[in-house]
Structure 1
């Protein structure tokens, strides 16, 4: 009978095992951060591979997000030109936008038509509002825009023209007009 004695696999009786090193909170957080970064990078690559064939165009949220009429303050601007442009913006939202005419058969208005009706016959106030509106349009779309009606009629829908009237109201308010 051949018996062999095997030594235990652990440390020898004369040797002591080193206790596992404890990591500080910062070290543990750094390790978790590194692991999550790797996982997020892998997920981003996987998403790009899966979505590479999809053609998408960026969405302008200003054209999508709307609020019901009458939910905001009645007259948020106190200066006359800014208040006029804000009323014109609300008019466009309520009555609708049109191109090619100051007002169409359904009552929709172009940018200039909305400013004119809200000016209530005050031609000085109307011209001041149209000047600020043209300036706002040129700031956004370049100096080659020749007039407010020309800009208005260049669009097939009212999203951009209506938004520009609102931006012009903010510009007039910032200028104290």
Structure 2
């Protein structure tokens, strides 16, 4: 039987190793080839009037004291916070000033302040004697605004 001899297979030369920058450039070219680079026409995307004023959000609370705390919270955020007086020259208000400004009556403001002092004592500062004294110890309006938001949640949970 004749022997068959095979010539060794011819191998392709091994490719030269690519540097990181070369691989990155190739990857960028591959991505560019897949992306449609036509400019985006915003007229195709925007479908409504752009400069229409945003309607105010509906009141999130159904109970009167919770709604009062929420309005006072918004007043403090938008109008500013102050200490040692109900209202300063720029229109900023303390906690009690914001509550009184938003309350429908003095008795509603008083009821809200009684609850607020209880919340301050229960959750933030057991030694607080009054809302005004606690408000006066704050460095800025962050905590007073936060406590009004928290009080709105608590009042709503209690149904008041």
Query: TM-score under structure 1 normalisation?
Result: 0.57
Deviating above 3 A after TM superposition, structure 1's stretches of 4 or more consecutive aligned residues are 70-73
Q: Which residue of 2 aligns with 1:143?
A: 126
Q: CA RMSD in A?
A: 1.6
CA distance in 1, matches of 2:128, 2:56: 31
Residue 156 of structure 1 aligns to a residue whose secondary structure is coil
Superposed CA deviations along residues 92-133 of structure 1, whole A, max 9, x for unmatched, are: 01100001110000000000000000014x111111111111
Superposed CA deviations along residues 54-83 of structure 1, whole A, max 9, x for unmatched, are: xxxxxxxxxxxxxxxx88733100100000
Point out where structure 2 has 5 or more consecutive residues left out of the alignment.
1-53
CA distance in 1, matches of 2:59, 2:96: 20
CA contact (8 A) 1:132 1:171 kept: no
Deviation at 1:140, TM superposition (A): 1.6
Point out where structure 1 has 5 or more consecutive residues left out of the alignment.
1-69
Query: TM-score under structure 2 normalisation?
Result: 0.63
